[in-house]
Amino acid sequence: MTKKVRVIIVDDSKTGRAFIAAALRRDPDIEITGMAADPLEARDLIIKDQPDVITLDIEMPNMNGLQFLEKIMRMRPIPVVMVSSLTARGAETSIEALQLGAFDCFPKPASFAGIDAYAGLVPLVKAAAGSISGRTSSKNSILNNKTSQRRVVSPEVIAIGASTGGVEALGAILPRLPSTFPPVMITQHMPPLFTASLATRLNQMCDITLQEAEDGVPLENGHAYIAPGGTRHLHLKKMGGRLFTSLDEGDPVSGHRPSVDELFRSVAQCSGASSVGVILTGMGRDGAEGLLEMRSAGAYTLGQSAASCVVYGMPKAAVEVGAVERMVPLSSMAEMLISYCKSENGGFV
C-alpha cells in the first residue's frame, strides 16, 4: 500500500483553504491532516501531525508567510509550497520565498475561479513530498569519454533551462559568472510577473546584467536574458551574422510556455557547436529533446547532478535520451562553464 502524502494547509482565507483542500483530496494519494488560518495555529499542527508537505499562503495575520517559512527552514525543514497572489508584489515575495528554501510557488487563482483552477497544485505537492532532502555535491560524471578531450571553442551563447528548484540553482550559478562572460539565455518555468522579479533580484547579485527578455534585442557579452514567464517562448535568432532574442506567442510545447525545448532547438539551429546547453533541476521532460538537438549539432551539453537537484526530473529525462555529455553538481556548474568558455588566451568571446 502506497504511503499517503500528509499535508497541512495554511491560509488565512476560509475559502482558500476549502478550495485547496478540495483540489488535493481529489488525489487518493494525498491526505489533509490539518488546516490553519495563521502561522501560530499552524505551528502546533506541524508539531502534532508531522506533515510531509505544507502549503503556505504568503499574506497572513500575526506572522507573514515569509517569516514563518524562514522559521520552518531553520528549525525543522519541511517541503513548503507557497501559494501566492499573481501580482507584482506577490511575485517579488515569491522569489524571496524560493531563495529561502520553498519548494515551489503556486499562483493563487481568482476567488471566482473554482476548484479546477487549483488542479496544478496537486503534482507540486506530490513532487515536494518526494523531493531530495539534504542535497549534496557529487563528483563530475562524464557520460561520454570523448568529452574529456573536447577542445575549447569559445562559445557564442549559453542556453539554460530550469523548472522547480531553478531559482536556487540560478542563484548559485549566475552570481559567479564574470562580467565578460558570453551571453546567457534562460528559460525558467514561472507564471507571468515572476520572471521580472527574478531578473531584478538576480541582477542585484551578479556582475553580469540580468533582464527579462524582450523581442529583437541583440545579445551582448555580460548579459543574461530570461524568458517572460507564462506568456512567450524565448528563441535565438541570427540575422546578418548577429545573434538576437526572439519572443514567440505560440502554443505551449512540452506542456510549457515558455518551453526549454523551444529555446534549446533555436540555439541548436542558430549556433550549433558554438553553444553550450545546460539543463537544471525541474519536474517533467521539457528540454530533453531540445538539448539532444543541441548535442547533435555539436554543442557542449551539461546536466545538473541528481544529488544536487531539488527534483531530478528534467536532467534525468535528458540523460535518458542521450542529450547530456557531463553531469555536474550545482556547486561546480559555474566553474565548469567558466573553464569551458575561456579562449586559449584566457579571455572570452
| Distance linking the first and last C-alpha atoms of the chain | 56
Total Cβ atoms within 10 A of residue 110: 9
Q: How many CA atoms lie within 13 A of 322 on its CB side?
A: 3
Chain centroid to CA 328: how far? Answer: 17
Q: Is 308 a catalytic residue?
A: no
Determine which one of 38, 85, 104, 189 is catalytic.
189
Short-list 334, 285, 271, CA closest to 313:
285
Q: Is 163 a catalytic residue?
A: yes
Q: Which residues contact 100 (CB under 8 A, 6 or more apart)?
A: 66, 69, 70, 73
Chain centroid to CA 6: how far? Answer: 24
- Compute the distance between CA of residue 266 and CA of residue 84 in angstroms, rounded to an integer: 32
Element (H, E) at 85: strand 80-85
Judged by DSSP in three states, 107 sits in strand
Determine which one of 163, 254, 275, 308 is catalytic.
163
Element (H, E) at 328: strand 326-328
Helix, strand, coil distribution of the chain in percent, nearest 5: 40, 25, 40
- Compute the distance between CA of residue 38 and CA of residue 16 in angstroms, rounded to an integer: 13
- Compute the distance between CA of residue 109 and CA of residue 91 in angstroms, rounded to an integer: 14
- Compute the distance between CA of residue 294 and CA of residue 88 in angstroms, rounded to an integer: 35
Determine which one of 235, 286, 305, 308 is catalytic.
286
> What does the CA dihedral 264, 265, 271, 276 come to, rounded to 10 degrees?
30
Angle, in degrees to the nearest 10, between helices 166-173 and 194-205: 30
Q: Where in the sequence numbering do the catalytic residues fall?
A: 163, 189, 286
